[in-house]
Amino acid sequence: QVQLVESGGGLVQPGGSLRLSCAASGRIFSINAMGWYRQAPGKQRELVADINSGGRTNYADSVKGRFTISRDDAKNTVYLQMNSLKPEDTAVYYCNLRGKLVSMGSRINDYWGQGTQVTVSS
């Protein structure tokens, strides 16, 4: 399978910034998209941002203008730059990869990281 290693979470004050990273490794044949989801206590997991193979991005309305998703194709890594953080951004953030593994042929699957905690508090 694929391994998704996340880093960059932590505790930050309101108005501060964090940068999340997710590095993918394994026998990856192709990637359709990579993205970030988050889940706050008592809430369902929601899409924060994603970026497809052509570089097109998509953001949740709640983070537009504050968060930026980007990728480094050479490193199979996706980033989430989070600025002007608010307490309501507090959640576990999960990296997602949608694509094909060499061993799975034409099957497209979703793969998930273990999650990294982001806490925004004064």
Query: Does residue 67 have a pLDDT over 80?
Result: yes
- Phi then psi dihedrals of residue 102, to 5 deg: -55, -40
How much is the pLDDT for 109? 94
Query: What value does the mean pLDDT take over residues 33-40?
Result: 97
Query: Does residue 1 have a pLDDT over 80?
Result: no
Query: What value does the mean pLDDT take over residues 81-109?
Result: 94
Angstrom distance (rounded) from CA 5 to CA 12: 21
Query: What value does the mean pLDDT take over residues 54-74?
Result: 96
Angstrom distance (rounded) from CA 93 to CA 55: 21
Angstrom distance (rounded) from CA 119 to CA 106: 39
Which residues does 4 contact at the CB level (< 8 Å), separation at least 6? 22, 23, 24, 95, 97, 111, 112, 113, 114
| Of the listed ranges 9-13, 20-24, 28-32, 33-37, the one predicted with least confidence | 28-32
Query: Does residue 73 have a pLDDT over 90?
Result: no
